[in-house]
Amino acid sequence: MTVHIGATKGDIAETVLLPGDPYRAKWAAETFLQDVRLVNEVRGMLGYTGTWNGHPVTVQGSGMGMPSLSIYVNELIRDYGAKTLIRIGSCGGMQDKVKIRDVILAMTATTLSSPSRGIFKEVNYAPCADWSLLQAAVKAAETRSLNPHVGGIYSSDVFYDERPDLNEQMVRHGILGVEMEAAELYTLAARYDCRALAVLTVSDHLGTGEALPSDQRERSFGDMVEIALEAAIA
């Protein structure tokens, strides 16, 4: 048990999926895993462990933003021995070719700042995904006749962004989408010699203003979860 995770030793699998929303963790665990049990509910941040094709998997909510995710990932790795961590979440599309419901596999994650920024000081560290996970995720998507977008994303440290000039530069430099967690996940995975990936579903688009209604989001996120599971266990 840690400050933020009430699970006991052995309750957390080495493979962990990380949705931001704790209720999405509940949905993903109950929909895709077998023999599911609740292992954490501290502060309402739900976590479940079950099996997928016989392999132990934990689905743990991480909250919104890099500071919140950093808390859970640090504890999952240091105190519970997590080795493979995959963020499953929504993002905003930024390129014209990126459409609502598309899947993005984040090769790199650009950011202005993160909880780890103070460590690097003047260095602009470049957080990136684990290659084996990225490769397996591409294969898993293609077996579903999906054509995922693979490339760089932007991990913003604010939700209500008032920097349209910055977004313009992100689009100009090929950034596929924006979310709020992956850059810190990739940095922590590198620090602790673990594997990490972000598998994202485009739920809205900064350019067109399109957005998925809330009642359609879960139904559209199934491919993302299955890609993450297949990549993690491959």
Task: Determine if residue 179 is labeled as part of a ligand binding site.
Answer: yes
**Burial class, 147, CB count within 10 angstroms (exposed 0-12 / middle 13-18 / buried 19+):** exposed
Structure tokens at 1: 């048990």
Under 8 Å between Cβ of 108 and 127: yes
* Dihedral Cα 20, 32, 15, 8, nearest 10 deg: 80
Under 8 Å between Cβ of 52 and 229: yes
Task: Determine if residue 43 is labeled as part of a ligand binding site.
Answer: yes
- Could you state, in order of their start, the residue ranges of all structural domains in the chain? 15-233
Tens of pLDDT, residue by residue, the chain (234 residues): 899 999 998 999 999 999 999 999 999 999 999 999 999 999 999 999 999 999 999 999 999 999 999 999 999 999 999 999 999 999 999 999 999 999 999 999 999 999 998 899 899 999 999 999 999 999 999 999 999 999 999 999 999 988 889 999 999 999 999 999 999 999 999 999 999 999 999 999 999 999 998 777 766 799 999 999 999 998
C-alpha 151/C-alpha 214 separation (Å) is 26
Structure tokens at 212: 């998925």
Task: Determine if residue 24 is labeled as part of a ligand binding site.
Answer: yes
Q: How many CA atoms lie within 13 A of 54 on its CB side?
A: 1
Relative to beta strand 84-93, strand 55-60 is unpaired
Sequence-distant (6+) residues with CB within 8 A of 142 are 148
Catalytic residues: 204
Cα 102 from chain centroid?
A: 15
Task: Determine if residue 88 is labeled as part of a ligand binding site.
Answer: yes
Class of domain 15-233: alpha beta
Structure tokens at 165: 């000039």
